[in-house]
């Protein structure tokens, strides 16, 4: 992975489906802009680019019949395209980019059916985030939230799969902590305000550590 090359900051939020990432990226944007006077741009993977758009069609079932390896390659290709088209230009300007899912999502979702060494290989040219925030919510909690508020079941939204994804998240979290990368674990089972508050504290600590 490439790292440490620009003035801007690259922050990623990760968690299983229904863990509240999309809500928290919005709140984080507001917090960064008002507290630090920076410009913060929101991003998401799969991206809104051509490869990300194709991936979404497979995820929502409008297109069918892709094998696990091809899907993993599409996610990696989308990430490289996203790095070049959106993430790097923002960082080079010195702005912040907050991304809803990134590399860990490939490790934990595609990691169910593919080996980790190969996933690392196909993702080796992507930029390393400055900070990865993991919103920890157990599958039994997110499934209650998902079935309560959405009517479309996406292919990944089943308990057994989510449990596997969750376990994979804990593994990667542990590995990155041990290799001293910047990661933070947030208790996502609290109410929204408390989750938001904990993310703010983590960001303050990150900035204090950096200065
Ligand atoms: P999600 O982020 O929930 O987007 P939306 O709310 O618009 O449906 O869905 C994206 C899904 O894609 C999610 O189940 C995780 C999965 N995913 C992967 O399997 N691998 C990846 O590399 C990424 C970025 C996402």
168 lines ligand 1 (CB under 6 A): no
Residue 7: band (very low, low, confident or very high) from pLDDT cuts 50, 70, 90 = confident
104 lines ligand 1 (CB under 6 A): no
169 lines ligand 1 (CB under 6 A): no
Q: What is the pLDDT of residues 101-124, one digit of tens each?
A: 999 999 999 999 999 999 999 999
Instruction: State the closest ligand 1 atom to the C-alpha of 22, by its place in the atom list counted from 1.
Output: 6
The predicted structure's pLDDT at residue 63:
94
- The mean pLDDT of the chain is 93
How far apart (Å, rounded) are the C-alpha atoms in residues 122 and 45? 16
Instruction: State the closest ligand 1 atom to the C-alpha of 110, by its place in the atom list counted from 1.
Output: 19
How far apart (Å, rounded) are the C-alpha atoms in residues 145 and 152? 13
- Vertex 45: Cα angle to 43 and 46 (nearest 5): 130
Residue nearest to atom 25 of ligand 1 (CA): 105
142 lines ligand 1 (CB under 6 A): no
User: What CA–CA distances, in Å, run from 151 to 17, 44, 105, 158?
Assistant: 14, 22, 23, 13
Residue pair 79/45 in contact (Cβ under 8 Å)? The answer is: yes
Residue 149: band (very low, low, confident or very high) from pLDDT cuts 50, 70, 90 = low
How far apart (Å, rounded) are the C-alpha atoms in residues 191 and 53? 32
109 lines ligand 1 (CB under 6 A): yes
Q: What is the pLDDT of residues 122-139, one digit of tens each?
A: 999 999 999 999 999 999
For residue 155, pLDDT beyond 50: no
Q: What is the pLDDT of residues 77-104, one digit of tens each?
A: 999 999 999 999 999 999 999 999 999 9
Residue 1: band (very low, low, confident or very high) from pLDDT cuts 50, 70, 90 = confident
Residue nearest to atom 9 of ligand 1 (CA): 17
How far apart (Å, rounded) are the C-alpha atoms in residues 90 and 85? 9
Q: What is the pLDDT of residues 158-179, one digit of tens each?
A: 788 899 999 999 999 999 999 9
The model's pTM is: 0.93
Instruction: State the closest ligand 1 atom to the C-alpha of 46, by its place in the atom list counted from 1.
Output: 24
45 lines ligand 1 (CB under 6 A): yes
The predicted structure's pLDDT at residue 152:
55
CATH number for the 9-210 domain, one of 2.40.50.100, 1.10.260.40, 3.40.50.300, 3.30.1540.10?
A: 3.40.50.300
Q: Which tokens sit at 88? A: 């790097």
């Amino acid at each position: 992975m490439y790292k440490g090359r620009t003035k801007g900051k690259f922050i990623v939020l990760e968690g299983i489906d229904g863990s509240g990432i999309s809500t928290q990226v919005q709140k984080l944007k507001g917090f960064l802009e008002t507290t630090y006077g920076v410009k913060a741009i929101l991003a998401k993977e799969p991206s809104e680019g051509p490869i990300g758009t194709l991936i979404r069609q497979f995820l929502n079932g409008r297109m069918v019949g892709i094998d696990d390896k091809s899907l993993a390659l599409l996610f990696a290709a989308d990430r490289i395209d996203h790095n070049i088209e959106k993430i790097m230009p923002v960082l080079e300007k010195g702005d912040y980019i907050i991304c809803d899912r990134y590399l860990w999502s490939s490790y934990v979702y595609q990691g169910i059916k593919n080996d980790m060494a190969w996933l690392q290989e196909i993702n080796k040219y992507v930029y390393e985030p400055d900070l990865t925030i993991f919103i920890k919510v157990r599958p039994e909690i997110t499934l209650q939230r998902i079935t309560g508020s959405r009517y479309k079941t996406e292919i990944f939204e089943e308990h057994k799969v989510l449990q596997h994804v969750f376990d994979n998240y804990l593994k990667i979290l542990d590995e990155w902590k041990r290799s001293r990368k910047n990661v933070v674990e947030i208790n996502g089972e609290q109410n929204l305000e408390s989750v938001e508050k904990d993310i703010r504290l983590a960001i303050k600590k990150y900035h204090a550590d950096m200065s």
